[in-house]
Every structure is written in C-alpha cells, then in structure tokens.
Amino acid sequence: MGEKITKVFNPAETLNEIENKFEMFQILNEKGEVVNPDALPDLSDDELVELMTRMVYTRILDQRSISLNRQGRLGFYAPTAGQEASQLASHFALEKDDWILPGYRDVPQIVWHGLPLWKAFLFSRGHFVGNQIPEGVNVVPPQIIIGAQYVQTAGVALGLKKRGSKTVAITYTGDGGSSQGDFYEGINFAGAQKTPAIFIVQNNQYAISTPREVQTAAKTIAQKGIAAGIPSTLVDGMDALAVYVATKDARDRAVRGEGPSLIETMCYRYGPHTMSGDDPTRYRTSDIDNEWAAKDPIVRFRIFLEGKGLWNEQKETEVIERAKEEIKEAIKKADETPKQKVTDLISNMFEELPHNLKEQYEIYKAKESK
Amino acid sequence: MAQMTMIQAITDALRCELKNDDNVLVFGEDVGVNGGVFRATEGLQKEFGVDRVFDTPLAESGIGGLAVGLCLTGFRPVPEIQFFGFVYEVMDSISGQLARYRYRTGNTFNMPVTIRSPFGGGVHTPEMHSDSLEGLMAQQPGLKVVIPSTPYDAKGLLISSIRDNDPVVFLEHLKLYRSFREEVPEESYTIPLGKADVKREGTDLSIFAYGLMVHESLRAAEELAKEGYSVEVVDLRTISPLDIDTIVASVEKTNRAIVVQEAQKQAGIAANVVAEINERAILSLEAPVLRVAAPDTIYPFPQAENIWLPNYKDIIETAKKVLTF
C-alpha cells in the first residue's frame, strides 16, 4: 500500500531532492589544488598573504593560549585550531563597520575586528575590563548561551536596516547551537524582516561530545535555512577561499537589500571543547582526528600560496615570531590591569544606582579599602 | 485634561514617546494593524508608520533578541509581550541578556528597553495568561520592575520607563485596563521610578500593595475607617528597586503594617518588604508584619479564581489581626 498523497505530491522524495542539492562548496581541495577556478575570489596578492598571516598568527595564539591556560595564567579558553578558515576567512569578507556577535569560541574574529588582544586575555581571565569594548569596534563579548547571539543578530541587522546603513551583522554558532530554538527564531526573524544578517554555523562535528548525527535528522544544517526562506550554503570550512567566497557573496546580497543568509562550514576542532577538563578521547578516535588533520586549512592554503610565489618558510617564521612577541606584550598589559573590585561591579549595574546598591557600594568600599 | 482609562493612558504615553524620540520603536505580536490584543497600541502604526510600530513573528525569545540588537544600534525599543505568562519563552533575553549587558560590558553598552506586558487575574483567561510573575523579574539584578495602579501613574511611569537608560519591565494589570477613568493630562509628564505613592494617609496601620491590590487595599481601608481605624495605603509602584524611605517613614508613623500581593505567598515581593521593615524599623513596630497573598498553588482554573485571589475582605481580616495584636 503506497501512501495516497504520493499520487499528488511525494514528501519523502521532495526532502531527498532538497537535501541532495546541498553539495559542499570547495575551491581548494586537501592538496591545495584549485578545483573550482571559476569561483576564485578577487583577492589581491597582498590580501591573500594577509589572510594567511591571520590564520598562522591565530594558530600560534591558540597554542600559546593553551599553554598559558595550563600554567594557570589564563582562565576560560575554548581552543580554535582547525577552525581558522571558518573563523578568519568569514571575517575577512567583512568591512570594518560590520557587527560581529560571536560565540564563546569566536574570540579570534573579534580580535581581528579590533578588540585588543590584552582585552581578550582579560575576558578569558574573567575580568570585566576584557569586555569593555573600545568605541567604534562593532563587536559584543562572546556569548555563552548558545543561540542567544542568533536572535540578537536579527535585532542588530534590523537596526542597521532602519538606519539605512550599508553594513551587516554576522554571528557564529556551532552544530549543537543549530538545535536551539533561538537558532530558528533568529534566522526566521531576519528572513521575515529581510535584514542584512549572516548566520554562520561552524559545524565542527561535535557539541562538546555529542556527535552531529544526534542533533538532527537533517542531512545538512545548511538546509535548515530553507525552512526560514533564506539562501543557505554548505561550504568546506577547512578551505579559506571557499569560506571567504560564501561569506562575501552573502554580504553582497545583504547590502544589496536581499536579506540574510545561512552558511554551514564543515570543520573540526583539533583540541578539546574547552580547557576546563574536556577529554576528546572519550568521544573521538585518533582515526577521526587524523582524517581531519589531513584537511588542515593552513596546510592547503600554504601550498596554494607557495604555488603562486606568495609565501615561504621565512615569511611564516616572521609571522610566528611577531605573534609570539605580541602575545607576550598583551599578557604583560593584561597583568598590569588593576584587579577588579566588587565596588566596580556594583557601579556597572545601572546608570544611576538604586538605594540597595548604593548601600552595598558603601559596605564594599569600606571592606575593600582595608 | 481628559478622562482616561489605564489602557488609554498607556497608549497616550507611547504616543508621547514615539513623538518625543525617533529612536523609540514599538513592536510585538499583533501590535500593528490590530493595535494589540488589548488595544494598547491602537492607532499608533497608522500615526507613526510601520517602520516605528510593527508586528513581529510569533516568538517571544526572538522579540527579546530583537530588543537587544536594536539597542546595540542605538534604538530605544518598547516591545510588548502579549501576556506575561509567556515570559518563560523570553527569560534568557530578559534575565540572561538585557539585564546583564551593561554589567557584562563594564558600562560600555546599555539596554534602554521597556518591556510592556499585561498580567494579573480576575478576568477568566485561559491558562498562562493571568499569573503574577513579577517576583521572577524582581529577583533578577539589573532590571527595574514597575507596576502602575492608576491611569495617571501608568502614563507618567511608562514615560519614565521608556526614557530610562536601563531595562524596565512594565507590568499592566489586566483588570485595571478599563476598570475606571481618571483625569490624565494630555501633555507629557514623568513620575520617577523607584518612588512609592501614599494613596491614602492614615495613622494606625500601613498597607503596602501594588497593582490591583492597591484598590482592594483602599476598599479595605474605607471599611476599616467605618470602625474607627485610620489606615494608610502605600502603592509601591516600583517593586524593584523598592522605595525604602517611603516604606520606613510610613511604618515609623503607624507602627503597624501588612503587605498585600496578588501573587502566591512563597518567595514574593511581600516577603521582601517584610524583611526590609524588620531590618530597618523593627523598633517602631507594635505588632508583627503580616502578609496577604494567594495560596501557593499554580494559578487557578477560572472557576476558582474569585476565591483564590486575595480581596478586600482578606485584607480586613489580616489588618484586624495586626491592629488588635
């Protein structure tokens, strides 16, 4: 007995057709070969070198952050190695006045957007000065509630549209975040209001330990955008050029007034979920690790740039040395920041303190001056 | 001056602020063409355009997120949550995000949002429409919680809330929307947040209340006056932060107090007021401070509503215990 409705419309077949249309977009394959020459971005040689520089720098930042964390000199830290193309090539498609609403792992993007590195370290250490965003840097502190940044991005994008601004709001979550109600509310609001938003899902395959297939029956996360009526792309998140092009296209559509886009970047985090006790060997095998290490975003971009004569070992060493030096300086500056006090925290609650906080301010002022 | 119901005073306040500041935006479910399910936004979309007064998709968390994002781009959002029983859907946006933004960013961002929402019982709604959930809001540092009891107060307090540079939850009691009219100036005026109002002066007992319970308390005071008791009724108006000065001054004058809330008794605003009185004015007291509140059940099904909700008779009963202690 076939289902009667299939005589008119076949729901299962329609789903299959849609899912199969989401092919992963790639420009550079794992060997650094150009597989989609027509899709190559119009980036100058200098820009290509700059993108590589940022990826190499950020890999070093990750390594140093992990070791600083192990020495007890950094607090909360979510490792980024493996996700450099997803994070930095998407960011590379933005303009300075665009807004970024990051998830907790997306510190590199906001640093490259203008948040001083020493402040990023203070954020990690749990000091409010790390979250004091300099005037003119359009970022907010990393979001902890997975999904909240999606609905807020719909709000920023609506604000930008109302202001008639030719800028966009971009936000990041992960494969786990795409299961949140706020994920759908965010993309749906932005779609309905046709606002300049870019929603990125960095699908690094695991939400802490929970594998991607436990999150959803959907074959891709990208296809979830279809339900909200917004253009959606599945992209190789280990391929900087593909991520750049997908994001740039989404940005161009947004500033033309064509509304938001959803981009799923297929990637992998090499390290643990965070440095707070996560042990990836409990949920990932070394075979899986090796399979993804072979797709490394920096390796393939290096091959591509070397082939064009734009990159060599000396250049890479220079970037690494510069990164190490600047990280050292930033840590020093973070160390010099005065310790925060409860009176600071009380002062930051309201524009004008109500009676209860005024009283408590005096109590802590006395305690803290002892 | 015009005679206005509370709902008209609220619409009038929104109109004043939409005129006063181009950054004010009014949005929510059905607030546009329909003017809101209670008509609080009646005519505003027509007057100010769909860019300033607009309908959203039906999703409270999305509405809360929209408010946060609009603040980041310099707007002054006034979202409506259609019924406050739906607040659970937007708790993260309110408590996890709006209330924390200034603090989280060390004073570099602020959230000048006023969330308006109807609440309160006595009008036989379906489930999740009548609950008094102001305690949930008052428990969250970083929010101000305002509950007017009269049309005049509603207009002045709403204008102050919208102009405030921190997030305000503005709760409008359903039963007060159209229950009476009073004189309300047509021009703009403000009533400071965090200030209680002595609605009736007295010397024997202080009753602290807010929302609909202010009116039940006034009725109780009227009845008690017939028996020779002089009862003061203080409308808290803002339940977070509390107006400690007015509360303490009243207790120091009358030496006896009760606190009335429509919400369930457990962990409520009334308990907080009692604690403040104990900490600050215990030596003025001639009797324990008692509470009048609803029982600690889930909000009742409509047929039991009238017995469940505290009323002036309950207030008189408790007031007498304190007066004759």
Is residue A195, in this structure, part of any structural domain at all?
Answer: yes
B75 Cβ under 8 Å from any chain A Cβ: yes
- Cβ pair B244:A145 closer than 8 A: no
DSSP class of residue B237 equals S
Domain identity same for A230 and A346: no
What is the rounded distance in angstroms from the CA atom of residue A333 to the CA atom of residue A108? 18
Whether CATH 3.40.50.970 fits B2-184: yes
Domain identity same for A71 and A166: yes
Nearest partner of B79 among B67, B61, B97, B91, judged by Cα: B67
Domain identity same for A128 and A36: yes
Domain identity same for A355 and A345: yes
Alpha carbon of B239: minimum distance to chain A alpha carbons (Å)? 12
Per-residue pLDDT of B224-234, as tens digits, reads: 999 999 999 99
pLDDT along chain A (370 residues), means of 10: 81 94 97 98 98 98 97 96 98 98 98 98 97 98 96 98 98 97 98 98 97 96 98 98 98 98 98 95 97 98 98 98 98 97 97 97 95
Domain identity same for A241 and A133: yes
- Cβ pair B62:A152 closer than 8 A: no
Which sequence spans correspond to the domains of chain B?
Answer: 2-184, 197-324
In total, the C-beta contacts within 8 angstroms joining chain A to chain B are 136
pLDDT for the residue A3: 80
Candidate from B59, B74, B110 with C-beta closest to A185: B59
Is residue A4, in this structure, part of any structural domain at all?
Answer: no
Is residue A105, in this structure, part of any structural domain at all?
Answer: yes
Domain identity same for A344 and A334: no
pTM over 0.90: yes
Per-residue pLDDT of B92-143, as tens digits, reads: 999 999 999 999 999 999 999 999 999 999 999 999 999 999 999 999 999 9
Provide the CATH topology of domain B197-324: Rossmann fold (3.40.50)
Q: What's the Cα-to-Cα distance from B21 to each of A47, A296, B14, B18, rounded to whole Å?
A: 43, 52, 11, 6
Domain identity same for A159 and A265: yes
Is residue A110, in this structure, part of any structural domain at all?
Answer: yes
pLDDT for the residue A1: 52
Annotation marks residue B129 as catalytic: yes
Domain identity same for A234 and A358: no
Domain identity same for A367 and A247: no
Here the CATH number for the domain that contains residue A57 is: 3.40.50.970
Is residue A212, in this structure, part of any structural domain at all?
Answer: yes
CB atoms within 10 A of CB B168: 28
Domain identity same for A174 and A64: yes
- Cβ pair A128:B103 closer than 8 A: yes
User: How many domains are contained in chain A?
Assistant: 2
Domain identity same for A359 and A260: no
Nearest partner of B226 among B325, B286, B287, B312, judged by Cα: B312
Residues of A in contact with B56 (CB under 8 A): 189
Domain identity same for A197 and A330: yes
B139 Cβ under 8 Å from any chain A Cβ: no
Name the stretches of chain B with pLDDT < 70: none
Range of the domain at A254: 10-338
What is the rounded distance in angstroms from the CA atom of residue B147 to the CA atom of residue B119? 10
Residue B274 contacts residue B291 (beta carbons within 8 Å) = yes
